[in-house]
A and B are shown apart, each in its own frame.
Chain A
Amino acid sequence: MRAYIPSRGAVWVQALAVRDITKSFGPVRALRGVTLTVARGEALAIFGPNGAGKTTLLKIASTLMRPSSGQVLLFGANPHEAPHLRRLIGLVSHHSYLYPGLTGLENLLFTARLYGCSDAGARAEAMLAAVGLSGRGGDLVRTYSRGMTQRLSIARALVHDPQILLLDEPYTGLDRQAASAFTALLLTMRGSRTIVLTTHSIEQGVALSDRVAILVDGVVAYEAGNGARDVSTVERVYAECVGVPA
């Protein structure tokens, strides 16, 4: 069941918009006025040093956290006020969100059913196949390798066919082989889904995205579209923004 997507002029084009988002944890201000928009089908990569607020921003966009002020809009509607809109989002975190005591298939079934998918069984099987884990679907997630767990987390994030995929430092802990398999998988989704990805790896980020942004100390320090998107340029700007070599 799809959520109603309003078609209000230019807003229709914006899959995800965050406006003037601030977030304070007591006296500490993690985000100090972040405004970003991502068009439908676009892929945005967000870079930034540790503590810049990347994870906080994704959590707010996915409704896991409430902003101290500011607005989140998914296709023009605010998911913090309309929880059913969470169906539009899939989140891949550095936690796997998988139950080690359940099998791969059970994890996907559980997720698909709770997202309200009527054909949960078929979807779960299909997603397992898509990430190449069909053979291991009946094994407990506890027995999976890190790469397999990562693949299953993506399957879990996609099983309900979300329009928007958010990924929080998904390359953490992946070896080269798993990382390139992961990149290949994401590339198949470019254009059909809106993707927002935070990562430390500028190389991977630039390869996957249409636009980049650099978040430093809770504000957007740099944003660029199709032009200045080669790796060396971005690395140079990043080094300037952060004050140390990337």
Chain B
Amino acid sequence: MATTLTERRSEAARGADWREIVIWAGTALGVAGMYMAILYAPEEATMSHAQRIFYVHVPSAWVGFLAFGVVFAASVGFLWTRRRSFDLAAHASTEIGVVFTTLAIASGAVWGKSAWGTWWTWDPRLTTTFMLWFIYVVSLMVRAYGGSGGQSARFAAVLGIVGFLDIPLIHLSVVWWRSMHPLPVVVSSEGFGSGLPPEMLYALLVNVAAFTLLYVALFSIRRAQMGAQDAIAAQRDDDRRSTIRRGLPGIQEGSR
């Protein structure tokens, strides 16, 4: 963040960087999306206004799964190339993904309460989202407690890959489970364009776009933050060692 006058001048001279553009675009879309969700989209037949949380729930869930896809890709990249930047990307996406997934579950619960009078239901989509949330949380645990830096990064990457491959299987098994024991209430399909009047669809798409842009912005900021933390730690380590080594005879300086 630019604080001094000189910093601000040079930053203004440079022009907007792409992250800023994304944030502004996302905010604009977000505002538009909220307007459309609250005022533009028609009232839903059975649930009236409470149904509008759908415009938060679906995009959040979508971003939660998108973030996990990014975690998977970054994990594969990390194990393949062992480059730290992939690990940082996976970490950043995990942190952001867990936030959006939490939001998805919370909004889903609120919707469930107003629609069916119950805070939770083992609907396949909600259940799979809940399991995704668990995998995210465990992933963060592994990063926190998984041993020394390089090790926990590798473990988290393994978990990212195994988890991603597991999600479809989890979903299928819950769907089968539910097919044998149908829910007491019938969950109306909320898939894209299936039985949705066009205004609702547009509102939904705008919100999905807004949330996606928000994810991209948060992800790149967090990722840059982590890269900076890394660089600072490396610099500190370098400084410490150079003070130790100063003045010792005949030491070969290894190539960097």
Contacts and interface: CB of A to CB of B under 8 A. Distances in A.
Asked if the two chains touch in their complex, CB atoms less than 8 Å apart, one says: yes
Interface of A: 20, 22, 25-29, 31-34, 66, 216-222, 240-241, 243
A221 B244 CA distance: 14
Contact of A26 (B149, B245, B252, B254): B149
Contact of B251 (A31, A34, A216): A216
B254 A241 contact: no
B243 to A, nearest CB: 11
Interface of B: 82, 148-150, 230, 233-234, 236-238, 241, 244-245, 248-256
B252 A25 contact: no
B254 A22 contact: yes
Contacts of B250: 221-222, 241
15 contacts: A20-B255, A26-B148, A26-B150, A27-B234, A27-B236, A29-B237, A31-B254, A32-B256, A34-B254, A216-B251, A218-B254, A240-B249, A241-B249, A241-B251, A243-B248
A221 B252 CA distance: 6
B75 to A, nearest CB: 18
Nearest to B234: A27
B148 A25 contact: yes
Given A20-B254, A219-B251, 19 more contacts: A25-B150, A26-B150, A27-B230, A27-B236, A27-B237, A28-B237, A29-B241, A31-B254, A32-B254, A32-B256, A33-B252, A33-B253, A33-B254, A219-B254, A220-B252, A221-B248, A221-B250, A221-B251, A240-B248
A20 B253 CA distance: 11
Contacts of A29: 237-238, 241
A217 B245 CA distance: 8
Contacts of A243: 248
A46 B248 CA distance: 19
B248 A241 contact: yes
Contacts of B148: 25-26
Contacts of A33: 252-256
Contacts of A220: 252
B237 to A, nearest CB: 5
Nearest to A25: B150
B244 to A, nearest CB: 7
Contacts of A32: 254, 256
B234, B241, B251, B254, most chain A CB atoms within 10 A: B254
Nearest to A242: B248
A241 B148 CA distance: 29
Contacts of A20: 254-255
Contacts of A31: 254
A27 B252 contact: no
A234 to B, nearest CB: 14
A22, A32, A66, A241, most chain B CB atoms within 10 A: A32
A152 B250 CA distance: 40
A27 B233 contact: yes
A32 B253 CA distance: 8
